[in-house]
């Protein structure tokens, strides 16, 4: 598969799509206009601190009376066992890898995300389609093709990007849970051992995330800061957005 010099296809995700609408070709049987809920996505590489921030944000939103659901990458009930199996048996190739992830996302979109938007919930998404794009992009999957594949995704209302440098990420991952095969990109054969591979792989991945951040206009948070400093900024920006969006059927203690 080759690279596409014009990465943003007409049918796929771009930064100019209105939040809450489909990026490209919609699911034909599911029109989604005017739902009161919001999608807030937290993107960032492996072990950067996404779960930590989402847990704290959720607590804060719930205390204010918002209904919140969380959705996360590869967590669909349909696909999680298959993805786990494919990873553990190392039988993923580039295309099946991309399509399994897309199926996982489609399953969660229909079963979790769209119903929650309809019901006026805030959907906190631990990674969104951009992680799939970043991982596929550095593996040589055509960037135009993957954008058009995800045309059925709904543009999030806010995307936060936890930005980190590779040295800080390595320290954080080693201190918490160690490096694993996939997060080290061992399938890409970038280094002799898991440490070298992790460094080389994550360096490429962080570059890819940065180019997505520029393309899609992510809100960047400095992930090297302390947990509460990041959380304060996240709450400030989310609070501002929710106040400004002023959706009557949503909001603190609605309904
Ligand atoms: N800002 C921070 N400063 C220092 N350590 C942090 C920070 N944020 C998170 N951590 C620690 O880093 C580790 C990974 O955090 P967390 O599980 O939130 O990351 P994650 O992005 O969800 O990881 P994964 O990719 O495995 O889901 C945890 O031990 C957590 O306590
Ligand atoms: Mg996590």
Residue numbers of the domain that contains 86:
38-240
pLDDT given for residue 10 in this prediction: 53
Helix (H, G, I), strand (E, B) or coil at 121: coil
pLDDT given for residue 247 in this prediction: 55
Largest interatomic CA distance in the chain = 57
Confidence tier at 54 by pLDDT (50, 70, 90)? very high
pLDDT given for residue 252 in this prediction: 56
* Cβ-contact 41, 226 below 8 angstroms: no
- The mean per-residue pLDDT over the stretch 226-251 comes to 88
Q: How far is the CA of 129 from the centre of ligand 1 (A)?
A: 20
In the DSSP assignment, the letter for residue 5 is S
Closest by CA to 220, choosing from 155, 138, 164, 173, is 164
Question: What is the spatial distance between Cα 221 and Cα 180, in angstroms, rounded to a whole number?
Answer: 25
Q: Do the domain assignments include residue 99?
A: yes
Q: Which residue has the tokens 């203690």?
A: 253
Question: What is the spatial distance between Cα 40 and Cα 165, in angstroms, rounded to a whole number?
Answer: 23
Q: Do the domain assignments include residue 161?
A: yes
pLDDT given for residue 11 in this prediction: 60
Question: What is the spatial distance between Cα 131 and Cα 115, in angstroms, rounded to a whole number?
Answer: 23
- What is the CATH number for 169? 3.40.50.300
Is a pLDDT exceeding 60 seen at residue 2?
Answer: no
Q: How far is the CA of 48 from the centre of ligand 1 (A)?
A: 5
Q: Which residue has the tokens 């399994």?
A: 100
Instruction: Report residues near ion ligand 2: CB below 5 Å.
Output: 51
pLDDT given for residue 22 in this prediction: 93
Q: Do the domain assignments include residue 203?
A: yes
- The mean per-residue pLDDT over the stretch 7-18 comes to 66
Q: Do the domain assignments include residue 116?
A: yes
In the DSSP assignment, the letter for residue 187 is G
Question: What is the spatial distance between Cα 94 and Cα 119, in angstroms, rounded to a whole number?
Answer: 36
Q: pLDDT by residue (tens digit) across 128-151?
A: 999 999 999 999 999 999 999 999
Residue 40 Cβ inside 6 Å of ligand 1? The answer reads: no
Confidence tier at 9 by pLDDT (50, 70, 90)? very low
Q: Do the domain assignments include residue 12?
A: no
Please, what is the Cα angle at 241 between 239 and 246, to 5 degrees? 100
Q: How far is the CA of 111 from the centre of ligand 2 (A)?
A: 21
Residue 46 Cβ inside 6 Å of ligand 1? The answer reads: yes
Q: Do the domain assignments include residue 100?
A: yes
For atom 24 of ligand 1, the residue with the nearest CA is 47
Q: How many domains does the chain have?
A: 1
pTM score above 0.95: no
Question: What is the spatial distance between Cα 141 and Cα 234, in angstroms, rounded to a whole number?
Answer: 32
Q: Do the domain assignments include residue 150?
A: yes
Phi and psi for 211 in degrees, rounded to 5?
-70, -30
Q: How far is the CA of 163 from the centre of ligand 2 (A)?
A: 15
Q: pLDDT by residue (tens digit) across 181-207?
A: 888 888 888 888 999 999 999 999 999
105/29: higher pLDDT? 105
Tokens linked to 92: 């993923």
For atom 10 of ligand 1, the residue with the nearest CA is 49
Residue 205 Cβ inside 6 Å of ligand 1? The answer reads: no
Q: Do the domain assignments include residue 213?
A: yes
Confidence tier at 250 by pLDDT (50, 70, 90)? low
């Amino acid at each position: 598969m080759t690279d596409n010099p014009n990465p943003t296809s007409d049918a796929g995700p771009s930064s100019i799509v209105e939040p809450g609408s489909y990026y490209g070709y919609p699911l034909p049987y599911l029109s989604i206009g005017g739902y009161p809920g919001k999608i807030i996505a937290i993107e960032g590489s492996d072990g950067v601190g996404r779960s930590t921030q989402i847990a704290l944000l959720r607590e804060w939103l719930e205390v204010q009376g918002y209904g919140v659901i969380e959705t996360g990458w590869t967590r669909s009930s349909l696909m999680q066992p298959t993805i786990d199996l494919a990873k553990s048996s190392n039988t993923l190739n580039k295309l099946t890898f991309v399509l399994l992830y897309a199926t996982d996302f489609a399953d969660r979109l229909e079963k979790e995300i769209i119903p929650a938007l309809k019901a006026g919930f805030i959907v906190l998404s631990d990674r969104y389609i951009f992680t799939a794009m970043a991982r596929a992009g550095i593996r040589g999957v055509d960037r135009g093709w993957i954008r058009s594949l995800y045309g059925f995704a709904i543009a999030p209302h806010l995307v936060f990007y936890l930005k980190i440098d590779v040295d800080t990420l390595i320290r954080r991952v080693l201190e918490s849970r160690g490096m694993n095969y996939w997060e080290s990109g061992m399938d890409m054969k970038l280094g002799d051992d898991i440490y070298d591979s992790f460094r080389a792989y994550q360096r490429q991945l962080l570059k890819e995330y940065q180019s997505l951040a520029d393309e899609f206009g992510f809100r960047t948070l400095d992930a090297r800061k302390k947990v509460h400093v990041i959380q304060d900024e996240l709450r400030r920006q989310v609070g501002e957005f929710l106040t400004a969006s002023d959706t009557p059927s949503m909001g603190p203690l609605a309904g």
